[in-house]
Amino acid sequence: MWKWNYIWIQFLISLLLLIEFTFAKSTASVAGLTSTCPALDPRLNYRPVIGILSHPGDGASGRLSNATDASYIAASYVKFVESAGARVIPLIYNEPPEVLQTKLNLVNGVIFTGGWAKTGLYFDVVEGIFNQVLKKNDAGHHFPLLALCLGFELVMMAVSKNNEILESFSASNQASTLQFVKDLNIEGTLFQRFAPELLAKLSTECLVMQNHKFGISPETLQGNKELGSFFKILTTSTDENNKVYVSTVQSESYPVTALQWHPEKNAFEWGLSMIPHSDDAIQVTQSVANSFISEARKSFNRPPAKEVLDNLIYNYPPTYCGYAG
């Protein structure tokens, strides 16, 4: 009897050792899998911050505030940036120049939004920031700019040095297609990150939102020496009267892209009846956001974390203006 007990104890010991060995091997295997995650690219900034320039007014046609110094940033632009993995610092256009400069030194790229203001202090600030974008890049600091709708128009004025360069178009509250210029190579452009099937649909389905009364024709852009040398045309669109205007451009030498259309509206705005909200339209929003923030990640500006936190848009209370208009 004792002999059998002895054999049984030996068997249990062997079994326990086998289980322990198997468990250790399994743990090592799991640890091995974890350690195979590729290292992050040290050349990229995985905590990008974007400066969004505020626009004069309260964002609700004066229904919320008639203060002459009021300005706003529509929430859709903030959500647009955050959806691609970046944070926002508001660049309040009528802040003292030294404050604006401090904020510009904290960000990795800038967005000019839609709106109506084309003169006075607002234009001067836009032109000043635009020139700083160019200087930063000329100095070797990758610093992208995305100019949307009004931003597109203001950049046209700034580059051409002609405040009368814009033409009238009828493209208010209009969903449209994007017609790519002939033989366009999309590599290195905003559209490089678009899925091929989505890229094809842009030319046949109304997946982008237009909401403007001004713009620039291909003939005017190409006929202007400054604009023609600075920008290449990527797409055109057609207004309600079948007039063709430039809808997407990209700088030949700088990470500057300008859209006459509104990529942020598809996913994050509901006030206009013609904003497209289909699956494909939402993918357009996300693809543009991803493309722009991927450019911002190339910026090696990494300011102190506390300075960034002190200036983020989260320090400002949001105001819901949906009921106001």
Closest CA to 237 of 306, 299, 175: 175
The DSSP call for residue 234 is E
Closest CA to 110 of 162, 52, 47, 58: 52
Distance CA 281, CA 175 (A): 10
321 catalytically annotated: no
Radius of gyration of the chain (CA): 26
Contacts of 118-123 spanning 24+ positions with Cβ under 8 A: 118/150, 118/153, 118/154, 118/157, 118/163, 119/163, 121/93, 121/94, 122/55, 122/56, 122/93, 123/154, 123/157, 123/163
55 catalytically annotated: no
Say if CB 264 and CB 211 are below 8 A apart.
Answer: no
The DSSP call for residue 141 is -
Residue type, 44: L
Closest CA to 199 of 212, 209, 184, 218: 184
Which of the following is catalytic: 55, 142, 212, 262?
262
Residue 311 C-beta-side C-alpha neighbours within 13 Å: 24
> Is residue 154 within a helix (H) or strand (E), and if so which, with residue range?
helix 150-160
Which of the following is catalytic: 149, 206, 212, 321?
149
Between the alpha carbon of residue 74 and those of residues 126, 171, 179, 248, the distances in Å are 17, 21, 28, 22
* Residues carrying an active site annotation: 149, 262
